[in-house]
Amino acid sequence: MSKLRAFPSRGAIRVARTRPIDVLVLCGIVALFYGLVRVGATTDQPVRSGNPIAVSTDPGELPYYAARSVLRMFAGLVPSIVFTFVFGTWAARSRRAAKVIVPAIDILQSVPVLTFLSITVTGFIALFPHSTLGLECASVFAVFTALVWNMALAFYQSLITQPKELDEAARLMRLTRWQRFWTVDVPSGMIAQVWNGMISFGAAWFALCASETISVNGKDNALPGVGSYVAQALDNGEGERVALAVVVMVVMVVAVNFLFWRPITAWAERFRTEDCEIAEQPRSWFLQLLRRSTLPGRLGRVLRPVGERLDRVMRVLGTSPGRLHHNPVRRTYADILFYAVYTVVVVWGLYRAFSYVLANVPVPEIGHAALIALLTYGRVLLLVAFSTVVWVPIGVWIGMNPKVNRLAQPVVQILASFPTNFVFPLAVVVLGASGVSLNWGCVALMALGAQWYVLFNVIAGASAIPGDLREAAADLGLRGWLRWKSLILPAVFPSYVTGALTASGGAWNASIQAEIINYGSTTLTAIGIGAYIQQATSDGDFSRNFLGAVIMSVYVVVLNRLLWRPLYRFAEKRCALL
């Protein structure tokens, strides 16, 4: 009896062939790496003592300056993602770590960049005394601080509101911590993380523009970039070149959105946990182009053995921790020890801080600074209330309508990414002509940079509502307020809390620039802690600068304890159903 010959299937003998699209993608990758090498090679230039770096306002230099600025932005994004994953996971998985990490992030996101930028610049220049690399590191660090806090809080919020079914499945399948992180934690928070990354990236443009022109010990240091180009053009009175730089910045924001954030937003839709698909998912022409190429698949096959070996190495971290098995006695003693050490460290830090302030600042001035901080505190609360009333319904409408989302996202990102200090001269003219005091007008200026956190987070929360829940609500005939109460508000509330908290911190930060604005010979000043800190920074008075930062941090902690922490707990207990 003859044996039947078995033939392989067509898929088994399919040979990967190079397509024209592969050649196009490969050329793009080569061009990208070539540009990175060429631009990156100029970040380490020798600096002679007493000779500051010159910034040309020649329009022909703008493409090179734009490339340098974009490179700094992405150089700050990479460590921000690493920090977010490490500390966000740590805070979500450890009660004791959360007691330290979350309040620290709340405070750090509210401490203005200008209060510590001069300190960090001095430190980085000391590390690289004869090179521009120190200034580059300081600028990247400023971008990092503008990016990381909102991203870390968003990831932490996505983990603590994670459905309990996912936690139970991870424990039943005995996933390692490494496996759970990549298969459960990151996918479940991917949509919110991408949206918060976009808004954080937009807000970081302001920090980048501020850090590209740095004054240390009376010496001006400028790095080639769009921010330093605008600063030099303003000093020279070249209004047409400022307008040209604004156009270039808009093009930069649109290009980054089209080539980076829009593809990631469309790609993140694969992590939706629902039984049915939404009517129209976000699309990206650039992502579709990459998906038609065979290069990503080939690269994945090459890197798969590396990932498998890394997974075996990470098994030493143990299996996914459970929430139900704790030794109550040992846990009590560990809590007592932790809170004792925590209290000692906090008390010692407060003692050292106030000792320094009392030794350098008169007591009546401390009371005055605390009093004017109340005015800024009221402006922050007013801004959060305004953002809630205006942007929550708009964000829900955008997030739940993919067509509107696709059109509105680039517009919103341009508005959020545009450095607000570019429009401050216009604000001087408008406030002067209308007769409105800066004490009220600065609220609008603060809102220009802070309100977008609420909008972006609400859009992320609304777009993440599972399609099956939307269909169930439609089948049940939920309309109007009943639909908002039963579906929309519980779904977007955790994201809203993150956005409102970050907007509050951004408003404190924006008060530094908004409470004192200059244009030519005109200077408008509002009464508040932001103006106090900016004046102390201009005078080089570190003790008063430090006092303003401490008072601002105290108000942030009070607001956090009275408002944001209870809202977070409510979101964790009552709104973690989705």
Can you give the pLDDT at residue 84? Answer: 92
Interacting residues of 305 by C-beta distance below 8 A, sequence separation 6+: none
pLDDT at 218 over 60: no
Higher pLDDT, 172 or 368: 368
For residue 565 the two structure tokens come to 């922490």
Q: Report how far residue 398's alpha carbon sits from residue 417's, in angstroms, rounded to the nearest whole number.
A: 18
Higher pLDDT, 304 or 83: 83
User: What's at 310, amino acid-wise?
Assistant: L
The pLDDT mean for the chain works out to: 78
pTM (2 d.p.) = 0.76
User: What's at 369, amino acid-wise?
Assistant: A
pLDDT at 12 over 50: no
Interacting residues of 369 by C-beta distance below 8 A, sequence separation 6+: 529, 532, 544, 547, 548, 551
For residue 368 the two structure tokens come to 């005055």
Beta-ladder partners of 519: 522
Q: Report the interhelical angle of 438-463 vs 489-514 (nearest 10°).
A: 150
What pLDDT digit, counting tens, does each position of 119-132 carry? 677 778 778 777 77
% of the chain beyond a pLDDT of 70: 84
What pLDDT digit, counting tens, does each position of 143-176 carry? 898 888 888 888 888 888 777 777 778 778 878 8
Q: Which 8-state DSSP code applies to residue 276? A: S
Q: Which fold has domain 56-273+280-299+361-574?
A: MetI-like fold (1.10.3720)
pLDDT at 83 over 90: yes
Task: Give the model's confidence band at 524: pLDDT under 50 very low, under 70 low, under 90 confident, else very high.
Answer: confident
CA distances from 192 to 66, 78, 496, 499, 558 (A): 28, 18, 11, 11, 27
* C-alpha triplet 107, 388, 268: angle, nearest 5°: 75
pLDDT at 577 over 50: no
Contact 118, 186 (CB under 8 A): no
pLDDT at 22 over 80: no
pLDDT at 216 over 80: no
What pLDDT digit, counting tens, does each position of 86-110 carry? 998 888 888 888 888 887 887 777 6
